[in-house]
């Protein structure tokens, strides 16, 4: 194998596949990137046995062949070189690769490409197309609410739910919940639920362009999901579990709905957060007589109080929340105003855009 390629052209796909390459791998070969040149098409693959990313680069000159080499070391070599540098990758012996760039020479150890584990899936039950910006929207508006290393393993991922022409994404860590939906042409799928692992969700988010109307092909079966744009293909195992019935968690009897300026609320909460308890991040929200007051304190007996005007004529109410949860959800909204729904200090609050409830956030109260 012999490959001639410009530094930037190799560096981009390497940066994409390196996200799934295991730093502390059980198999040494999982620390490597799979490299194959076949009739001018350069294919790079990274895998951790659960998730696999494949990227293709067209019109690459050289001699066909395949191998695997340390993904991190090859990527670091590319980053260290000057712009526009021409690289030559060649197999010197059975287990060595020579990387040449100008007067620089690097010899890297290789492992056989035939031993590289691939996620081979050929039987897909469901297939549909979705715009990249719509898929990005499903991920970014909800993924921050996924759990991290929760013993309830089904919470360590994102629920994708498909109903005909609607696709929903839902994430919860047991203390908050985020739900959004997009409308596409009929998928031909009556109903299906899949839980995509946290790592896969974060990696997919790096690929899909928030502003692109280009389609990606999504394929699903009982155990895997595949996303293909032509330039890259992503395959991941799904979490085998039953996601909680999120509709039952969302309270339907909220009797206080307040329209609030989102940007102003973010500013007020951000200031109060400065003196909140670093561990619990609690703030209290008090509503009365068209005023929203936000207060916080910490174990050092430091206090913060801020307020803003709102339209509120109900009975006074005070309720505590984790300010980080509030801010993350508010920053994921893209509307000027939000509709905040409340009932009492012991019931979760919800909020969504004042124009649409396609995206909804729920946050459980906390005692301060």
Q: Concatenated DSSP letters for 111-135?
A: E-GGG---------SEEEEEEHHHH
Q: Measure the CA–CA gap between 160 and 170, rounded to whole angstroms.
A: 7
Q: What is the mean pLDDT of residues 309-314?
A: 94
Q: Which positions ≥6 away from 143 have C-beta within 8 Å? A: 158, 169, 171, 178, 198, 201, 202, 205
Segments making up each domain of the chain, as ranges: 2-115, 127-247, 250-363
Burial-class residue 313 by CB neighbours within 10 Å (0-12, 13-18, 19+): exposed
Residue pLDDT, tens place only, 241-298:
999 999 999 999 999 999 999 999 999 999 999 999 999 999 999 999 999 999 999 9
Task: Supply the pLDDT for residue 26.
Answer: 79
Residue 120 has pLDDT above 80, yes or no: no
Q: How many degrees, rounded to 5, is the angle at CA 356 between CA 346 and CA 187?
A: 110
Residue 186 has pLDDT above 90, yes or no: no
Task: Supply the pLDDT for residue 83.
Answer: 93
Residue pLDDT, tens place only, 323-350:
999 999 999 998 999 999 999 999 999 9
Q: What is the mean pLDDT of residues 212-228?
A: 94
Q: Which positions ≥6 away from 278 have C-beta within 8 Å? A: 298
Q: Measure the CA–CA gap between 365 and 175, rounded to whole angstroms.
A: 8
Does domain 250-363 correspond to CATH entry 2.60.120.260? no
Q: Measure the CA–CA gap between 159 and 220, rounded to whole angstroms.
A: 13
Mean pLDDT of the chain: 94
Q: What is the mean pLDDT of residues 2-10?
A: 96
132 in the Ramachandran plot: left (φ > 0), alpha (ψ -120 to 50) or beta? Answer: alpha
Does domain 2-115 correspond to CATH entry 3.10.150.10? yes
Supply φ then ψ for residue 49, to 5 degrees. Answer: 80, -20
Q: Measure the CA–CA gap between 114 and 108, rounded to whole angstroms.
A: 18
Q: Measure the CA–CA gap between 17 and 44, rounded to whole angstroms.
A: 7
pTM of the model: 0.91
Q: Measure the CA–CA gap between 111 and 29, rounded to whole angstroms.
A: 7
Categorize the per-residue pLDDT at 72 as very low, low, confident or very high, splitting at 50, 70 and 90.
very high
Structure tokens at 116: 């590289």
Radius of gyration for the chain, computed over Cα atoms and rounded to the nearest angstrom: 25
Count of C-beta atoms within a 10 Å radius of residue 279: 8
Q: Measure the CA–CA gap between 232 and 337, rounded to whole angstroms.
A: 37
Cα 310 to Cα 143, 176, 258, 266, 296, distances in angstroms: 30, 24, 7, 14, 20
Categorize the per-residue pLDDT at 222 as very low, low, confident or very high, splitting at 50, 70 and 90.
very high
Say yes or no: do domains 127-247 and 250-363 share a fold: yes
Does domain 127-247 correspond to CATH entry 3.10.150.10? yes
Higher pLDDT, 230 or 44: 44
Query: Which three-class secondary structure state does DSSP give residue 346?
Result: coil
Residue 307 has pLDDT above 80, yes or no: yes
Q: What is the mean pLDDT of residues 177-192?
A: 93
Element (H, E) at 80: helix 71-80
């Amino acid at each position: 194998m012999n490959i001639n390629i410009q530094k930037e052209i190799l560096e981009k796909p390497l940066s994409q596949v390196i996200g799934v390459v295991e730093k502390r791998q059980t198999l040494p070969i999982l620390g490597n990137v799979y490299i194959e040149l076949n009739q001018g098409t350069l294919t790079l693959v990274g895998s951790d046995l659960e998730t696999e990313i494949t990227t293709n680069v067209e019109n690459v000159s050289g001699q066909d062949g395949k191998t695997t080499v340390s993904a991190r070391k090859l990527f670091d070599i590319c980053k260290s070189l000057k712009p526009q540098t021409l690289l030559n990758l060649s197999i010197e012996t059975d287990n060595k690769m020579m990387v040449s760039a100008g007067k620089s020479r690097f010899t890297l150890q290789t492992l056989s490409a035939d031993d590289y584990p691939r996620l081979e899936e050929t039987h897909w039950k469901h297939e549909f197309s979705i715009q990249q910006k719509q898929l990005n929207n499903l991920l970014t508006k909800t993924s921050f609410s996924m759990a991290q290393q929760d013993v309830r393993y089904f919470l360590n991922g994102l629920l994708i739910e498909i109903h005909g022409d609607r696709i929903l994404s839902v994430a919860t860590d047991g203390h908050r919940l985020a739900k959004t939906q997009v409308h596409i042409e009929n998928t031909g799928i009556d109903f299906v639920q899949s839980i995509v692992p946290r790592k896969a969700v974060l990696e997919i988010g790096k690929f899909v362009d928030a502003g692109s109307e280009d389609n990606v092909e999504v394929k699903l079966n009982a155990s895997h999901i595949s996303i293909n744009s032509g330039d890259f293909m992503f395959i991941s195992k799904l979490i085998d579990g039953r996601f909680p019935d999120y509709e039952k968690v969302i309270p339907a009897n909220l009797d206080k709905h307040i329209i609030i300026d989102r940007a102003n609320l973010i500013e007020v909460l951000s200031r109060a957060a400065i003196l909140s308890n670093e561990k619990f991040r609690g703030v209290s929200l008090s509503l009365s007589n068209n005023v929203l007051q936000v207060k916080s304190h910490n174990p050092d007996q430091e206090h913060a109080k801020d307020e803003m005007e709102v339209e509120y004529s109900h009975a006074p109410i005070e309720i505590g929340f984790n300010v980080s949860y509030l801010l993350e959800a508010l920053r994921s909204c893209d509307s000027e105003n939000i509709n905040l729904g409340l009932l009492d200090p012991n019931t979760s609050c919800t909020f969504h855009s004042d124009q649409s409830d396609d995206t909804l956030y729920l946050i459980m109260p906390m005692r301060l």
